[in-house]
Structure 1
Amino acid sequence: MVATLTSLSIALLATLAQANPPNGYGSGASGPVIKIDTGCKYQEFDGTGVSEAFQRGLVIHELNAASQKLVLDYLFTTKGAGMTILRNGLGSATDDPFDLMKSIAPVAPASNSSELNFIPLPREDEYQVWLSHQAIARGVNTIYADAWSADGYMKTNGTDSYGGYLCGVTNTSCATGDWRQAYADKIVKYIQDYAAVGVSVNYVGFLNEPDLNTTYASMQSDGRQAADFIEVLHPTLQAAGLKTEIACCDGSGWQQDRERLTGIQEAGDEDLIGLVTAHGYSDYPSYPFNTTKHVWQTEWSTFDPINYAWYSGGDRFQSDGITWANNIHNLFAVSNANGHLYWWGAANTTDNQSLLFVNGTSEVRVTGRLWAHAHWGKQFVRQGAYRVDATVTGSSALNVTAFENTDGTTAVQVINNSNDTLSVTLQGLNFHRGAQTYLTNNNHNLTRGYAPVKRGHKGVVASVPGKSLLSFVA
């Protein structure tokens, strides 16, 4: 869906106060101070990721060998973003011209109680099977399969597009009856098909932006209606012996998904889901959900003309790398989310729906947004880490997150939104093993050691250039 820049994002970049100029190395007393408290822990970190749904896996597959490897390494290794989550699309279309995802049950059965007419995964599920293997080989450890819609014959409007509702949920009436069990059976078969080719699906979703009616695959649902299907899907997964957990509900924005979660909670079905999922389009992720479940932001991008910049200073700043660094910071530090997924990782698109742009069989171009994501990739923050307290004094221009990994290392991401270089003192970490820095800005892409740290009597000090993201690892 088309997103506009949120007022919160505009305010973030437009109203940040200008910080003091650098004061050199020393105690850091006259510059900003960042205090890390690893004894104060917040949410667990699950990872970052992307999707290649709607046949963008095919786009990567058609690249020549060198460019294909480049894209996959940029997305899933520490040479690039180091992502560990892949979101696949669970198809519902009757055929698969480019930009559609074909169903594994495209032909309606005789009735809602008849066995579905399953076919093999079309073209390896539009090359998502191939992509899953490539991603797993590079360290991806979580596969999330999400359906944009049930098949048309299971819905009130008879098509997988233009919204409509699943037959059998509250406030629907279909002449063909209740299709909830058939839809659950299809989802189970899809997961089993992936297992048969060596890919475990960790989470499965049955809705995508259920608050919208779109011209492409879509299915509407409120919270009560989502609960009606969860009450069928959960026991069906269990009966099949699957460990896959249910994710819900990929609302188009934070508030849109909270409304669905509230309905599930009121129905008493929250314990039947394993993951709360929402997008960042219609409502910016700006507060925590009231749930004990892990929460992921599972789709977000911008749609303005192509922008490769880290910081452009122009009217495309909503798609700048530094803007996305701030978006990710806010997602973890303000919304207490456990995971973040951009929309497409790589695509042949004319706007900013992807982190990498591909053209033909060889051209690959990298955006500043990819390098922003890299600072929360597995090179720095690993699954099972916990966000820890990071407080900033002396400057309102800095956004800081910190995570403690299970091996005791700590990664700290420092975003300097001002134009000035700031001499920052970092306190509260064990620096006996030393600290390494990684810098990203208009002139550097995850450059190691560019901003060396020096010991002061109050901590370690490093210069953070203006409009930059500097990560510390100690």
Structure 2
Amino acid sequence: MAVRSTTIVAALAALAEANWGGGYNSGPVVSVNTQQKYQVYDGIGVSEAFQRSLVIHELDTPSQTKVLDYLFSKTKGIGMTILRNGLGSSPDQPFDLMKSIAPTAPRSNSSQLNFIPLPREDQYQVWLSYQAISRGVDTIYADAWSADGYMKTNNTENYGGYLCGVTGTNCASGDWRQSYANKIVKYIQDYEALGIKVKYVGFLNEPDLNTTYASMQSDGRQAADFIEVLYPTLKRAGLQTQIACCDGSGWEQNRERLTGIQQAGDEDKLGLVTAHGYSSKPGAPFNTSKHVWQTEWSSFDPINYKWYTKENYQSDGLTWANYVQQGFSRSNMNGFLYWWGAANTTDNQSLLFINNTSEVKVTKRLWAFAHFGSRFVRVGANRVSASVAGGDGLLNVTAFANTDGSRAVQVINNGNNTETVTLQGVQYHGKVTTVLTNEANDLTYGVARNQRGAVSAVVPGKSLLSFYIESNGHGW
């Protein structure tokens, strides 16, 4: 038995030596240049709007902890750092609606709004915010899908309509822009009174669409009309919360709104540019100096737990790994958000599926996001230059330089062939950790091969592998 074991070990060693080329790899080479810096990394995130926070809250304690750790812990989960909350506009609070803090219309547009306390902890978004912050989330983004119905041209929070007072509207009830701004300020103040700072606030969601649920339409000029009221209202209230706009249903739909705001001369009043990925996928970067986030995107195919599927590829883990990577590398995003983190849904709108009060199922999409979360990429990092030479042209790479001196390099192998990838120009002391995700692995840790100054690792086909170099005082 001992002889057989020794023989096997020797054979494996010989095979490894042949594959690794004695320290000189002839496979693909990834070149990283930390002197060439690009955008700052703000993080990745999710939403639990439309009372999905309540769904998490109603889980039994072990399942609840599992969900929260999966989403927000940087040691047990994927380390998301952004939470997008829904700023309600509904007069009622049945499940799947978000109640307003000013549900009853005042006597007129110049009257004070009839504010009520945050309804049921804002559908447990307050509770979720506390839980997320305790696990490392540092950015709360509050976004409204619509103004209250009595402030709009169609007198309902649903079915589109426009905010009374913006260009092109003529409401008998008058101009409601200031009232809407006052409501947003009160919402932020309510959160701050509970110790939760809202860093960004949005007043639109998919304003290019007219939907059966909460929605409000707006072009760029109309968005600027409201920004010109909201911006000074926030300042007068002494709030540091910055304005985000406009959560267009797709990348190009939001580009149109941003262009309109720029033409109106109000871009300087924005703190953040936000877009979704539904109607058009992220593409060329926006022409703006503001930080840019993709704030909502998912798939509506039947539930897919797999890493790679030919038939249902739009919802598999590998596809979303590419979406996230390309968002940072091609569209120069500062942040990337999926739609729901965890939800009781029957399609791919979430990363985790909740079937009852105790059953939580994990998709491979979750682990795709983990490679770009705070386990490896810290808020404030810079994306840096990374390129690949060799291979079959199916490798995509990104690299981030953290402010603490650590580095993370993500390599996606979209091909079927296993590739031995070498990092070029790496200065390091000690081991270089590898992290592998594919159909058989969920963040499986390993150690890169280090021989004669070459750091290499095997990247199987249809896989995502990250190199992580810890801070050692020397950097790269």
How is 1:7-86 mapped onto 2 (pairs within 5 angstroms)? 23-78=19-74, 79-86=76-83
TM value normalised by structure 2: 0.93
Residues 26 and 461 in structure 1, CA contact (< 8 A), matched pair in contact too? no
How is 1:305-324 mapped onto 2 (pairs within 5 angstroms)? 305-312=302-309, 314-324=310-320
SS in 2 for 1:445: strand
Q: 1:405 aligns with which of 402, 410, 413?
A: 402
Mapped partners of 2:250, 2:172: distance in 1 = 33
User: Residues 379-429 of structure 1, C-alpha deviation per residue, up to 9 Å, x if partnerless?
Assistant: 100100000000100021111110000011110011111111101111122
Structure 1 gaps of 5+ residues are: 1-21
Supply the RMSD in Å over aligned alpha carbons: 1.0
Matched letter for residue 144 of structure 1:
Y
Q: 1:212 to 1:200 in 2, by over 3 A?
A: same
SS in 1 for 2:323: helix
How big is the shift at 1:456?
4.0
Q: 1:261 aligns with which of 220, 240, 258?
A: 258
Mapped partners of 2:149, 2:167: distance in 1 = 18
Residues 28 and 458 in structure 1, CA contact (< 8 A), matched pair in contact too? no
How big is the shift at 1:26?
3.7
SS in 2 for 1:298: strand
Mapped partners of 2:99, 2:24: distance in 1 = 59
Q: 1:182 aligns with which of 172, 179, 183?
A: 179
Residues 25 and 423 in structure 1, CA contact (< 8 A), matched pair in contact too? no
How big is the shift at 1:24?
3.1
How big is the shift at 1:431?
2.0
Residues 299 and 342 in structure 1, CA contact (< 8 A), matched pair in contact too? yes
Q: 1:463 aligns with which of 445, 458, 463?
A: 458
Q: 1:235 to 1:416 in 2, by over 3 A?
A: same
Residues 306 and 350 in structure 1, CA contact (< 8 A), matched pair in contact too? yes
Hey, what does 2:160 align to over in structure 1?
A: 163
Q: How many residues align?
A: 450
Q: 1:363 aligns with which of 332, 345, 359?
A: 359
How big is the shift at 1:432?
1.6
Q: 2:230 aligns with which of 228, 233, 247?
A: 233
Matched letter for residue 339 of structure 1:
G
Residues 307 and 367 in structure 1, CA contact (< 8 A), matched pair in contact too? yes
Mapped partners of 1:25, 1:145: distance in 2 = 53
Is the counterpart of residue 195 in structure 1 residue 210 in structure 2? no
User: Residues 95-144 of structure 1, C-alpha deviation per residue, up to 9 Å, x if partnerless?
Assistant: 01000000000000000000000001111000000000000010100000
Matched letter for residue 444 of structure 2:
T
Mapped partners of 2:448, 2:42: distance in 1 = 29
Structure 2 gaps of 5+ residues are: 1-17, 470-476
Mapped partners of 1:197, 1:220: distance in 2 = 32
Matched letter for residue 455 of structure 1:
N
How is 1:373-452 mapped onto 2 (pairs within 5 angstroms)? 373-395=369-391, 396-449=393-446, 452=447
TM value normalised by structure 1: 0.94
How big is the shift at 1:147?
0.1
Is the counterpart of residue 246 in structure 1 residue 243 in structure 2? yes
How is 1:262-281 mapped onto 2 (pairs within 5 angstroms)? 262-281=259-278
Hey, what does 1:353 align to over in structure 2?
A: 349
Matched letter for residue 236 of structure 1:
T
Which one has the largest radius of gyration? 2
Dislocated runs of 4+, deviation >6 Å: none
How big is the shift at 1:434?
2.4
Q: 1:24 to 1:115 in 2, by over 3 A?
A: same
Q: Which has the higher contact order (CA 8 A, sep 6+)?
A: 1
Residues 90 and 157 in structure 2, CA contact (< 8 A), matched pair in contact too? yes
Q: 1:28 to 1:369 in 2, by over 3 A?
A: farther
Hey, what does 1:14 align to over in structure 2?
A: none
